[in-house]
Amino acid sequence: KQEVTQIPAALSVPEGENLVLNCSFTDSAIYNLQWFRQDPGKGLTSLLLIQSSQREQTSGRLNASLDKSSGRSTLYIAASQPGDSATYLCATLSGGSNYKLTFGKGTLLTVNP
Amino acid sequence: DTGVSQDPRHKITKRGQNVTFRCDPISEHNRLYWYRQTLGQGPEFLTYFQNEAQLEKSRLLSDRFSAERPKGSFSTLEIQRTEQGDSAMYLCASSLKGARELFFGEGSRLTVL
């Protein structure tokens, strides 16, 4: 059974700092890994999706990497802004279950002005 | 708006009442998913449909829960005899068959008093 862990559970940084969020997973047989953003009381906004054959994806100030063999992914946020404050969730779509995402508990990011 | 739409966004009910949530997926998407998210946790899979067929249900979906997708378009999730433990965010997502990226709605938050 896939388990996804996100560290740290919470992170507070000053505006402008670069930061890294970590995600680890136990079963490396995944189709893809997605990073989502969730604002308080809201749904999920997809940020980046990395296919199992890819090493990284970039969108604006966001860069996500994937190392399947070690069961790790990182989300790098450059030049953080207060508007980046949210909970960031990673989720894997595992082999043999091409419809069921397994989520971590998320990292609550606070960017202070 | 061509995204996944959920209604209502927030429902407050008394213990023992029945509630129903509706999800309208992206129009051409034939797969539809329900997830549940409790406070401080990542979303957990509840059930999924391919067209009108419900193909899998999680053990989390007790017999008080029923989901339908009668014409393969919108879906409803009904909870009978609600309990305080049912308080959560109910998230709907959709995807194309064969595509491995899920698109989530804004969620329906249930508060059971």
pLDDT in tens, A42-101: 899 999 999 999 999 999 999 999 999 999 999 999 999 999 999 999 999 976 665 789
Å from B80 to nearest chain A CA?
Answer: 24
Residue of chain B with shortest Cα separation from A102: B44
What string of DSSP letters covers A2-40? --EEEE-SEEEEETT--EEEEEEES---EEEEEEEEE-T
The answer to whether B31 contacts A99, with C-beta atoms less than 8 Å apart, is yes
pLDDT in tens, A88-107: 999 999 766 657 899 999 99
Tokens of A28: 């490396």
Residue A68: HSE in the Cβ half-sphere, 13 Å Cα cutoff: 17
In angstroms, the first-to-last Cα distance of chain A is 41
Q: Of B35, B42, B48, which has the smallest distance from its Cβ to A105's Cβ?
A: B42
Residues in B closer than 8 angstroms to A98, CB to CB, are: 100
Å from B1 to nearest chain A CA?
Answer: 15
**Interface contact B107, partner A, CB < 8 A:** yes
How many Cβ atoms from other residues are within 10 Å of residue B102's Cβ?
27
pLDDT in tens, B6-60: 999 999 999 999 999 999 999 989 999 999 999 999 999 999 999 999 988 888 8
Tokens of A47: 């940020």
Residue A22 neighbours by CB under 8 Å, 6+ apart: A6, A7, A8, A72, A73, A74, A107
Distance of alpha carbon A90 from alpha carbon A101, whole angstroms: 10
